[in-house]
Amino acid sequence: MLRKLALTAAFCLTAVSAQAHDYNLGDLKIVHPWSRATAPSAPAGIAYMMIDNRGVSDKLLKAASDVAKAVELHTHIMDGPIMRMRQVQDVDIAGGAETKLAPGGLHVMLIGLKAPLKEGTTFPMTLTFEKSGSVTVEVQVQGISAGAASHGASPETKRKQ
């Protein structure tokens, strides 16, 4: 609890910049959870992070946040030339390895946003792992085109309409 408060306090000081921030949960380190700002009408948002596992293999079972009506774990698959999203039941977090939730791959889908995600703000998201338990992280909302190497926010959200 004290550690969480300390992290939150440290984070508040740097909230306006897109600096890296991370959270420890047993052998797991959740590195820089982030999301993109959404257009006012966008029905969905997406969150990303990197999970560094210094212990034995684990599984990300669930992500939860009050910013959306439903939160799902997704991946992208190639369907011929088209990249599509597909829900997955859980995400393998291999031991001694880094698992990336990043544009074009695994991600957390925030379906039915209650309000647009605004750049420079943060929102809490609780991650539940099979062995390591749960941790609540603050997701940084970055610019609408942040990290858009593979695809932007708009094609993603259009598909959900």
Would you say 30 or 73 has its CB closer to Cu ion? 73
Closest to Cu ion by CB, 67 or 85: 85
Q: Among residues 109, 110, 139, 153, which is the contact residue for Cu ion, using CB under 5 A?
A: 109
Q: Does 62 bind Cu ion (CB under 5 A)?
A: no
Residues 94/136, Cβ–Cβ less than 8 Å: no
Cβ at position 58, least distance to Cu ion in Å: 22
| CA 144 – CA 4 distance, rounded (Å) | 28
CB 49 within 8 A of CB 78: no
For the bound state, the minimum distance from the C-beta of residue 1 to Cu ion, rounded and expressed in Å, comes to 32
Taking every pair of Cα atoms in the chain, the longest distance, rounded to a whole number of angstroms, is: 49
Stretch that binds Cu ion, among 22-30, 88-96, 104-112, 119-127 (CB under 5 A): 104-112
Q: How far is the CB of 35 from Cu ion (least distance, A)?
A: 12
Q: Is 91 in the site for Cu ion (CB under 5 A)?
A: no
Q: Is 108 in the site for Cu ion (CB under 5 A)?
A: no
CB-based closest residue to Cu ion: 74
**Rule CB under 5 A: is residue 74 a binding residue for Cu ion?**
yes
* CB 139 within 8 Å of CB 47: yes
Give the closest residue to 82 by CA, choosing from 9, 6, 155. Answer: 155
Residue 101: closest CA among 38, 51, 28: 51
Count Cβ neighbours within 10 Å for each residue of 9-42 and write b for 16 or more, e otherwise.
Answer: eebeeeeeebeebebebebbebbbbbbbbbeeeb
User: In this chain, which stretch among 25-33, 57-65, 80-88, 91-99 interacts with Cu ion, using CB under 5 A?
Assistant: 80-88
Q: By CB under 5 A, is residue 85 in contact with Cu ion?
A: yes
Binding residues for Cu ion, rule: CB under 5 A, are 74, 85, 109
